Amino acid sequence: MKKLQPIWEAIKRFWKKKHITQILLLLLLTVFLLTILFFAFIAVNANVESLQEGLEQSTIIYDKDGDPAASLATNRTEGVSVNALPGHIKNAVIAIEDERFYQHNGFDIKGIGRAFFNNIFAGRITGGGSTVTQQLAKNALLTTEQTYRRKIEELFLAVEIEKKYEKDDILQMYLNQVYFGSGAWGIESAANKYFSKTVSQLTISESAMLAGLLQSPSYLDPYKNYEGAMKRRDTVLGKMNEHKMITEEEYQAAKNEKLQLKEGVASSFERKYPYYVDAVLDEAINQYGLTQEEIFTRGYKIYTEMDQNIQSSLENVYARDSLFPAGKGGALVQSGAVLLDPNNGGVRGLVGGRGDHVFRGFNRATHIKAQPGSTLKPLAVYTPALEEGYKPTSILKDEPTSYGDYHPENSTKQYSGDVEMYKAVEESLNVPAVWLLNEIGLKKGLDSLERFGIPLEKEDEYLGIGLGGMRTGISPLTLAEAYSTFPNEGKRNDGHLITKIVGPTGKTIAERKKTTVKVTSKSVSKDMSAMLLNVMETGTGSGAKINGVQLAGKTGSTQLPYNDVSGTKDQWLVGYTSNIVGAVWLGYDQTDREHYLSSSTSDNVVPVFKAVMESTLPYVEDSGLSTKSVNETINNDQRREQVGEAIKEQTDKIEGKIKEELPKWKETIKEGMNEAKDFGRFLKEKWNNFTN
């Protein structure tokens, strides 16, 4: 230690000489001041002046042109004025949530200190300590994450809110947007949900129970945890009694009152574009991190890619039951469809089922995972083959071949030995597709699918993937996005519904970031489109042909798991013009020996797809694809060949005639020349006689 003493003394002298302590304190104070300025800046720029107006509005979904398309006001009321609230409701909430509400300026030092030490002892952010104003700031302007940064933002925003609004206005905003559980947002909705009453009819005991739910709406839901809700009610009543908000007699009477739950009648409504709205909610929650509670209570503006004309037309198609196969055993043949703009990936229209709609239920346009069948052939086989140098007219093998334990067959059980690639695509032959995938290599097919955005699993890595044999499968949205590559010159934009989300204060809280993938070349896309045009002209999709419209596409179906039953499990048709891609799935939600599609794709999914695409024509400009079908190209080549042959035939005839007449012409010319010579001699003799 004695040896270290000089070093220690030197450090102390240096520390004092350089004023290290003062510098560190100055740095800490600077950091603290900058932190305060940062959060103050955020709070000042939060535009809390428009908060009340924003919370009074419903969340609105806008279409691609910025016009309102749908409102999400169905699970909340318009709100109730604080002046119309009975005093015991306000007192119940203040007693349990923020007893010093009318004394503080947005935050309560005592509450913050208490919560801080609770968090320290818990070793994590457990919440607590927030005033009603802070809760309003959190619920209306911030995320639900439990972090110290969010708590600090909450505090500064609360101060700003207190500057702009009166206490009663703050309480009114809070009570009209806070969540009480069981789908009830706002005090008016909660009164109806649990007691079938208006707010003005609530008793002290009922008010205390509702105030108690705010701590944990799901856990304390009286329909599921009546005892827990009553215990919490008693705690609230005790607080009200403690703060002299109710008399001892009122306290005892309310505590002894046995509450009878009675769910009120929900307001009837018909939400526009239900499946599209569901998909928007899914995207907002899953991709942008919002919660359903936030979306329904904060008065957001959600801007989407919807075309209301296309969406309405699509829903009208799905309302025509005659288009769809008759169901069996009381079950509907279900379907899902997506219409997507290939130029930007925006979903213009979407329907996720037939029959009664269930809010945020199963959406067959986006949720379903079904095997895509032959619609995968262009993606897994023919595109990578074209990239490897094959041509639409290349000859493929069409004869029974086994690949280990895998034995692909054509659906007709007929084989032609050799077949041109475009014919294999047009007739949806299985054996040539598997042969070609084996020739180019399975890895190239899998790489191609990855570029097209098709999700794969380990079990999908076999030659059967070329025929759409997937373990899980895909949705119409995924398939439409993949096929958008072809009309977009080899580039794929991510399929999406939302472009941006604006909060109640006018701040953009989420915005789409464009993602474009170069899948293949422009020339390969043109060749693929040329073959897919054939499918819709003279192939398996010809029943969906629309006169005057260049429509390319591909059909697909999947086999039943029963060898003794003839039919299909899933049917698909995906197709496109220059500016719209449509994908339709058809089948039962649960396939069994009774519930399956007994007719072919041409009888079932093809007419539905045709009706879907025809419904879009008035609203989508069709500039035509940048290629012609193989049929048209071959026909043009044949016509040119025929014209050439006709010209050659006429030339040969003329040449033959000339050869036939040539000797006669020679003799005539010879005679003419002799006559000319005789005439010349005659003239010469006459001239000589004249001159002599």
Encoding tokens for residue 318? 């799905």
- Among 169, 176, 186, smallest CA distance to 83 is for 169
Burial (0-12, 13-18, 19+ Cβ within 10 Å), 692: exposed
Distance CA 87, CA 95 (A): 12
Distance CA 327, CA 568 (A): 14
User: Nearest 10 degrees: CA dihedral of 170, 175, 179, 184?
Assistant: -150
Q: Which candidate in 130, 374, 475, 525 is catalytic?
A: 374
637-656 CB burial, b ≥16 within 10 A, e <16: eeeeeeeeeeeeeeeeeeee
317, 612 contact by CB (below 8 A): yes
- For 324, which DSSP code? S
Task: Name residue 109's amino acid.
Answer: I
- For 618, which DSSP code? G
Active site residue 649: no
Q: Which candidate in 97, 153, 206, 305 is catalytic?
A: 97
Distance CA 237, CA 576 (A): 65
User: Within a 10 A sphere around the Cβ of 105, how many other Cβ atoms?
Assistant: 11
User: Within a 10 A sphere around the Cβ of 49, how many other Cβ atoms?
Assistant: 15
List Cα–Cα distances, 551 to 312, 395, 529, in angstroms: 22, 25, 9
106, 130 contact by CB (below 8 A): no
- Among 54, 25, 78, 14, smallest CA distance to 137 is for 54
HEC sequence for 12-43: HHHHHHCCHHHHHHHHHHHHHHHHHHHHHHHH
Q: Where are the beta strands (DSSP E) in 176-300?
A: none
- Among 305, 276, 277, 307, smallest CA distance to 292 is for 277
Encoding tokens for residue 216? 């944990």
Counting every residue, how long is the chain?
692
- Among 134, 158, 206, smallest CA distance to 43 is for 158
Q: How far is CA 180 from the centre of its chain?
A: 30
Q: What angle do CA 527, 406, 382 make, to 5 degrees?
A: 5
List Cα–Cα distances, 667 to 298, 433, 657, 663, 677, in angstroms: 107, 69, 16, 6, 15
Query: What's the N-to-C CA distance of the chain in angstroms?
Result: 162
366, 327 contact by CB (below 8 A): no
- Among 260, 202, 264, smallest CA distance to 230 is for 260
List Cα–Cα distances, 434 to 377, 403, 410, 466, 524, in angstroms: 9, 9, 10, 6, 20
Encoding tokens for residue 468? 């759409």
**Can you list the alpha helix ranges (DSSP code H) found in 413-512?**
421-426, 430-440, 442-451, 476-483
Active site residue 461: no
Residue numbers annotated as active site: 97, 374
